[in-house]
Chains A and B, each alone.
Chain A
């Protein structure tokens, strides 16, 4: 190939106490290519991009950028060479405006004084390139996650970016927003920007990337031209063994109705009615902002409803707080597991037992034996990989954290479980485990509502799908009629 290499990593090694995070990794990236970086959690992708961005010091190896060799990177050096990183956790100041965020720390050429008008104009120009309308005066905290990500990209572009590294950029986005992001990526590519794209979603890798590199256990495995490889090969390379990405078969068919909602209104949703049976997985589809999480919050009592009825096993119930929902054996696994689902500083045992701590207490005193047994039982049942139950949850991988969230709901012996984006940001192996667990739960008679932005997962796991559009029920699709395009049309309000 005669394409110019803009970034080349040679024999990069990074050691943390007890682990070799990067082990002699060498990869090169060409000008104007979209280069996907694949690997399970813990494969070393994040460490690698931090090395390039200068966020960490490497122990040995050389980073070559445009022919210049660097043995040490710093954040400012990396920036000055045109490298920008969009991390999973955004680096935006929530209380500043869009324009201020895009031009944070940048001085005006014309004046020593800060001019809001000037940067707002500039911000509009940058955003216009992407064909998005975002008011540059709006505070970032008032934007949707998708819009915030566009601001992140705009921030990078405004700095004359040469190499843009994106860590799981599609994770918080809905299907149509991902399309928008792909458009932006393509525009940047036309301008000769190199994009390093990290994602767990293989379909995206095939859609967008020119080449793909795979990492495993801190080592570089191989680089392939995307057109010359396939899903199965990539998965095998990533996990180092044969692993089928497939959805487990269900053994039983759904039973009687477990949960029914009638004309549910509130929290931005209007007039939503549906029901879910015991042992059924009901998928909930919709674009970001369609009111899916809001619906879950309503059912769980985390937001107050204005009108409507909720029936559990045919009985009308009043749910005014999460406590009410828990009493009616409804469990909610939030999409924001770090922010809302877990006590990160606390131990695995502490987290699992917390929702039922009252139940396993006598006269207010916790029965620690029972607590140990319950935590141990669910750790084994759903295979949480932790050296012991006294490990702080913050030290677990994303997949195992998600399992702790699941263990919490199972320990509470919920009959109805609401999963909000159950596999977001977790790797292929852990995803499979979560799918199997969900299937087992359904086979054991638990009613499951699954909110997901991953269309493939939704089609693969659900028995039935309801589609929301702008806070209203847009339609219901039976398994025999499952069709990605039809569901997308419903979600976009076309039907």
Chain B
């Protein structure tokens, strides 16, 4: 092999591995190109801005979910947490006449508290978070319905409108919040020792314990972070809808989970990054948006989203198996 072909070979091998690691990113590019051609209204500044604002709510909560998932847990109660705190926030501002400057910090505390409930139940009952949060999900949602009393709560101060409907330099506020939350999340995960401990917990819980990590405290803190971040979503969503209804937030965890799995966050823990998560979220956004433009009926949209979730999981498993095979080959040799 001549020097030049060697360089070429190395280059293409590296390119190959980069592409392999970024399959979700390639899927996103492919979808963007595809819909540009088949849906004339798709690739416009206005539409893309709408699309990104649509995903920003789930996108924010997904960062919290990712923290829990990397540590090996899961939170299925995200949507229901929002249902409850959304109604409560509306009640605070309309019934109790609290100004937003008081109500918002309070609801952030409540959201963190809901996360803490999840966390404490997990460590005290020693039951898998999947089951715990399935249970609390029903409880939180039910409590939301109870305090809502079938009302459509309206009459917020106008100053509250900015959070969900405002723009800064032409960018919707929720999108800016999503970007900030994602950047902070990424920083914590990759640059701090706390981030390391989250990966350690998901990678090998017993090894983490023996290395001196206080794993019960970590688990509670992670659920609190997840709850806190979702209460940010609550504020933005209520401001966007501008009416307190129990429908707001329901099933939001579905998009968060799909985005996480699409973006390479492992269901078993120990793996994940914010870039992948955001790519996963954008794939969902593009699909949702394009299906709406193409006036797909609601029910077939659900079918498509369900299929995407399964494909995401299958892809995750396929990647793992292939890596495991490569490893076996190396070890056996």
A residues apposed to B, CB below 8 Å: 16-21, 42, 44, 46-47, 50, 56, 218, 300, 302, 321-323, 325-326, 332, 334, 339-346, 350, 354-355, 357-358, 361, 364-366, 392, 394-395, 397, 408
Contact = CB atoms under 8 A, between A and B. Distances in A.
Given A321-B214, A364-B194, A365-B191, A343 B333 contact: no
B299 interface: no
B332 A50 contact: yes
B20 to A, nearest CB: 15
B200 to A, nearest CB: 6
Interface residues of B, number: 28
Given A16-B333, A21-B333, A394-B327, A332 B193 contact: no
A300 B209 CA distance: 11
Contact of A343 (B192, B203, B214, B326): B203
B271 interface: yes
A358 to B, nearest CB: 5
A366 B210 contact: no
Given A322-B209, A358-B193, 18 more contacts: A16-B329, A218-B333, A302-B209, A321-B214, A323-B213, A326-B212, A332-B210, A340-B207, A343-B199, A343-B204, A344-B203, A354-B200, A361-B193, A364-B193, A366-B196, A392-B327, A395-B330, A408-B211
B270 interface: yes
Most buried by A among B199, B208, B326, B332: B332
B197 to A, nearest CB: 8
Nearest to A56: B332
Contacts of B207: 339-343
Contacts of A408: 211
A160 B214 CA distance: 50
7 contacts: A44-B333, A300-B210, A323-B214, A354-B200, A361-B192, A364-B194, A395-B331
SS class, residues of chain A in contact with chain B: mixed
Contacts of A321: 212, 214
B327 A395 contact: yes
A486 B210 CA distance: 35
The 4 A-B residue pairs whose C-beta atoms are closest, nearest first, are A323-B212, A19-B333, A16-B329, A343-B203
B95 interface: no
Contacts of B329: 16-17, 19
Contacts of B330: 16, 19, 395
Nearest to A355: B211
A304 to B, nearest CB: 13
A98 B333 CA distance: 33
Nearest to A398: B331
Most buried by B among A17, A339, A354, A408: A354
Nearest to A50: B332
A42 B333 CA distance: 6
A345 B210 contact: no
B196 to A, nearest CB: 5
Contacts of A332: 210
A20 B329 CA distance: 10
A490 to B, nearest CB: 30
B333 A47 contact: yes
A340 B209 CA distance: 9
A355 B212 contact: yes
Contacts of A44: 333
A245 B301 CA distance: 69
Contacts of B197: 357
Contacts of B194: 364
A355 to B, nearest CB: 5
Contact of B211 (A46, A354, A366, A397): A354
Contacts of A339: 204, 206-207
Nearest to B324: A394
A18 B206 CA distance: 34
Given A354-B196, A355-B212, A364-B192, A344 B204 contact: yes
Contacts of B270: 343, 345-346
Interface string B242-276: 00000000000000000000000000001100000
Contacts of B203: 343-346
B212 to A, nearest CB: 4
Nearest to B330: A395
Nearest to B192: A364
A321 B208 CA distance: 12
Nearest to B270: A345
A42 B329 CA distance: 11
Contacts of B191: 365-366
Contacts of B327: 392, 394-395
Contacts of B211: 322, 326, 354-355, 408
A86 B111 CA distance: 53
B212 A340 contact: no
Contacts of A56: 332
Interface string B308-333: 00000000000000000011011111
